[in-house]
Copies of this chain bind each other. A is one copy, B any other.
Amino acid sequence: MFSTPLTITIFGFGAFGKLAAALLAPHAHVSVFDKSCDARQAASELGFSIIRDVSDVHADVVVLAVPAQSLEQCLLDIAPHLREGQLVIDVCSIKEEPARLMRSHLPAHVEILASHPMFGPQSAMKGTADSQIVLCPIRGTRWRRLAAFLRQRLGFGIIVTTPEEHDRQTARSQGLTHLLAHAFATLGEHPRICTRSSELMSEAIALVAHDAPEVSDAIVLGNRHLAPLRESLISALSSFGETEVNKHSPAQTDGQPYEA
């Protein structure tokens, strides 16, 4: 049903598009589409075929590696040119809204898979072993063939779920991490006097601190499940000490003040 080798066109040769192209190139025929001349030149210098006209995208799999904020325009651009049976995949860090946009803008003869690779250029620098990709099948069945390819050829762990469940879980994990990275950036450098736990927290923040602002915006503002978590976090940060002061005051442990 797919060509051998698999043909893949990556739309958008930004930070993630580059990473995806590099990971896929040994196992598939990868071509690149990007409106920017600089990006096309960079892709060409790395040996990728360049597609100059959106109507020339004939690959089995079309990976939309564009910011979440640009996805709708991208879909409107490519929709009239897609052929029967092509599989279109997004790689946005949120899934409910991209899934809705793809379902609504892509023609019925196109198959759709919403995906979220749980790694980025920063974390992939240490390799993608043990890395996971979340797949949310939206339309068609060819995604199963791609899932097998990603698992067997590239060694990725595959998690299949719904866009809603993805966004609910990543609000708690990725969403809060990005929100905190943003907040910590306002507090100055990590100091010399520190504990192992604060070092780990700094490492966590450093991994996402250099993500493009568009990425953080999508993750924090585009995930409807994050707002209540943000409220709870702020509330818990604000309330620390209001009750604890009374609970553990020295007065109440007076009898045995320094026992085990």
* A98 CB within 8 Å of chain B: no
Q: How far is the CB of A46 from chain B (nearest CB, A)?
A: 12
Copies per assembly: 2
Query: In A199-246, which residues have CB < 8 Å from any B CB?
Result: 199-201, 203-205, 207-208, 213-214, 216-217, 220-221, 229-230, 232-234, 236-238, 240-241, 244-245
Question: Closest chain B residue to A33 by CB distance?
Answer: B258
- Report how far A79 CA is from B76 CA in the complex, Å: 79
Query: Do A248 and B35 have beta carbons less than 8 Å apart?
Result: no
Q: Do A174 and B187 form a contact, CB below 8 Å, given A35-B258, A240-B179, A260-B38?
A: no
Chain A: residues with CB nearer than 8 A to chain B? 11-15, 17-18, 34-36, 38-39, 42, 64, 66-67, 69-70, 72-74, 118-120, 123, 132, 134, 159, 161, 165-166, 168-170, 172-174, 176-177, 179-188, 190-201, 203-205, 207-208, 213-214, 216-217, 220-221, 229-230, 232-234, 236-238, 240-241, 244-245, 247-250, 253-254, 256-260
Instruction: Beyond the given A66-B257, A187-B233, please list 11 additional residue pairs across the A-B interface where CB-CB is below 8 A.
Output: A118-B196, A123-B195, A169-B191, A169-B193, A170-B191, A173-B198, A174-B195, A186-B236, A198-B204, A217-B241, A237-B237
